[in-house]
Amino acid sequence: MRDRLEGLLTSAREEVRRAADAAQVETLRVRYLGRKGELAQVLGGMGKLSPEDRRSVGEVANRVKAELEALLAGAVRAVEEAALQAELAGPPLDVTLPGRQQPSGHRHLVSRTLEDVIRSFQRLGFDVFTGPEVELDALNFEALNIPADHPARDMQDTFYVDAPWSKAPADQVLLRTHTSPGQIRAMRSRPPPLRIVVPGKAYRVDSDATHTPMFHQIEGLLVDRGITFADLKGTLTAFVTSFFGADRKTRFRPSYFQFTEPSAEMDVSCGTCAGKGCRVCKFTGWLEILGCGMVHPNVLTAGGYDASQLTGFAWGMGVERIAMLRHGLDDIRSLFENDIRFLEQF
């Protein structure tokens, strides 16, 4: 048995010398020292020895085991060192090679447009105020001076929420059709003077190349003593030059909204043709970007403000529309199809 143990050592030394890499060394380790390896097999026969023989053979076995372990550990170190030397001797690493680019995402065009618009108004001193997307009829319509029989309340346009508590018409719950109820919520929660923008989602039963059931708006409201239409024009024109560029012009056309009097629509000169007329502006030289006006006294009163002391102006604009005008897109739905090839362009 002693001879077999010594023999193991001799053959292991020979084979380890021939091992060329870490995998081969590992194979040898399993073969000699593994649970069913050569050493274990020899030791399996120890039970049949007399007690004296067992002691002396045990001593040899322990020494052989320790030597085998040292031999294999040394072999691992040797192959690792050899691999390192081979790498160092090979062609040098070219640190001037361009790196591999990590693919990275970015914010959606609509989010970016929204943030850009907000930033332009923050520079003018406006705060951000937000309201809920699920809104009371009383705030979405009633408080904004939109009477019960107004066509905007039509089931055709508004997503009504079937809420168990909404029995009375004033308790009716809906998905807000515009960000304008934010005006009422802001006035009811803050004392005048007020200078806010209300960004967020709005919903309407509508779907075609220029409408989606969900879209984004940014509402604005400024209320103080002595505010006039000149303040409205100055503020919104300052926004246009900061957001679209100093070379863009604005024009105001009379319009009608229940919550403002007088009301207007603001156009921006077309950036594609510099106002000469092209396909983007439908050959008018102008792009309509928002509705605005002087806040109706009934709206100030609904907000809890004193309409005999205060005046203000408000506006509302569609974020997708502005993004589309800025990038010359002609179908709003392309913004929500999540085709990564389309979105990556922006």
Among 181, 199, 271, 293, binds ligand DAH (CB under 6 A): 293
**Of 32 and 257, which CB lies nearer to ligand DAH in the complex structure?**
257
Query: How many whole angstroms from its chain centre is CA 345?
Result: 16
Tokens of 139: 């705030």
Interface region with ligand DAH, contact rule CB under 6 A, candidates 127-135, 240-248, 281-289, 291-299: 291-299
Q: Which residues 6+ apart lie within 8 Å of 34 measured at CB?
A: 40
**Of 271 and 293, which CB lies nearer to ligand DAH in the complex structure?**
293
**Of 79 and 292, which CB lies nearer to ligand DAH in the complex structure?**
292
φ/ψ of residue 129, rounded to 5: -125, 135
Element (H, E) at 246: none
Interaction of residue 196 with ligand DAH, rule CB under 6 A:
no
CB 337, min distance to ligand DAH, A: 24
Per-residue contact flags (x/-) with ligand DAH for residues 255 to 274, judged by CB under 6 A:
--x--x--------------
Please tell me the number of Cα atoms within 13 Å of 19 on its side-chain side. 26
Tokens of 102: 């990590």
Interaction of residue 61 with ligand DAH, rule CB under 6 A:
no
> Cβ distance 172 to 142 under 8 Å?
no
Interaction of residue 219 with ligand DAH, rule CB under 6 A:
yes
Q: Which residues 6+ apart lie within 8 Å of 216 measured at CB?
A: 110, 114, 199, 200, 201, 202, 318, 319, 320
Of residues 254, 239, 321, the one with CA closest to residue 294: 254
Per-residue contact flags (x/-) with ligand DAH for residues 20 to 59, judged by CB under 6 A:
----------------------------------------
Residues 103-132 that bind ligand DAH (CB under 6 A): none
Tokens of 109: 């065009």
Residue nearest to ligand DAH (CB): 316
CB 345, min distance to ligand DAH, A: 28
**Of 28 and 144, which CB lies nearer to ligand DAH in the complex structure?**
144
Query: How many whole angstroms from its chain centre is CA 285?
Result: 35
**Of 136 and 292, which CB lies nearer to ligand DAH in the complex structure?**
292
How long a stretch of residues is the chain? 346
Per-residue contact flags (x/-) with ligand DAH for residues 297 to 336, judged by CB under 6 A:
-----------------xxx--------------------
* Cα–Cα dist 216/165, whole Å: 28
> Cβ distance 209 to 320 under 8 Å?
no
**Of 25 and 117, which CB lies nearer to ligand DAH in the complex structure?**
117
CB 317, min distance to ligand DAH, A: 7
* Cα–Cα dist 23/287, whole Å: 72
**Contact positions vs ligand DAH (CB under 6 A):** 178, 180, 219, 257, 260, 291-293, 314-316
